[in-house]
A and B are shown apart, each in its own frame.
Chain A
Amino acid sequence: DQQVKQNSPSLSVQEGRISILNCDYTNSMFDYFLWYKKYPAEGPTFLISISSIKDKNEDGRFTVFLNKSAKHLSLHIVPSQPGDSAVYFCAANAGNMLTFGGGTRLMVKP
């Protein structure tokens, strides 16, 4: 069973608009959530994180929202840029171990 799910395998957005990537989880023991960005032939790069005691964390153009009651988190990118085109993974931490979602491929069109 998948404990972390990203239901949208791909997302296409126009440059300058908002990108919203979603992630759902099932395990209530997750205490820390992260988003990673991955370009082809590279390792995942850490983007932004949020503790389970918070509901929002912002870093420049990137904001992560956490809804614990719904077991849902989202990543907002505003404004989207062509360089943001990549695969985005959400990950959830429990006991030093990360569980990853399947990824969402974001394409930002100029």
Chain B
Amino acid sequence: DAGVIQSPRHEVTEMGQEVTLRCKPISGHDYLFWYRQTMMRGLELLIYFNNNVPIDDSGMPEDRFSAKMPNASFSTLKIQPSEPRDSAVYFCASRASGVSDTQYFGPGTRLTVL
């Protein structure tokens, strides 16, 4: 079975540009999570969805960040405009309700904003 799929794996962009990160959760999973990993703050939750509905976005750093989940098999995290301090590794994770609280992570997208 395919795990969580993220694209692109690496993204290099210039300050002020729009960046879109993509995630395909594991089929049948109804929860989807976006995380960011930095040296300073470690792994932190940005937002999560349940059945395609955003439930908690308190971790989204500012209005430049937005996330959508138009259907059960696809989610995007968008940064507009991007800034150098957004450089980090962004992970997507998913889990199935009623089974356990275990989240399964994708390989991540390494974002570099110059």
Contacts and interface: CB of A to CB of B under 8 A. Distances in A.
Given A43-B108, A49-B102, A100 B42 contact: yes
Contacts of B50: 96
B110 to A, nearest CB: 8
Contacts of A89: 43
Chain B contact surface mostly: strand
B4 A43 contact: yes
Contact of A42 (B48, B100, B107): B107
Chain A contact surface mostly: strand
Interface in A32-79: 32, 34, 36, 41-46, 49
A43 B101 contact: no
A102 B4 CA distance: 23
Contacts of B44: 100
Given A44-B91, A96-B48, A34 B56 contact: no
Contacts of B55: 96
Contacts of A49: 100-102
Given A96-B50, A97-B45, A102-B42, A43 B56 contact: no
B103 interface: yes
A89 B35 CA distance: 14
Q: Lowest 5 CB-CB distances: which A-B pairs, in order?
A: A43-B105, A100-B43, A32-B101, A93-B101, A44-B105
16 contacts: A31-B101, A41-B108, A41-B110, A43-B93, A43-B107, A43-B108, A49-B102, A96-B48, A96-B50, A96-B56, A96-B101, A97-B45, A97-B48, A98-B103, A100-B42, A102-B42
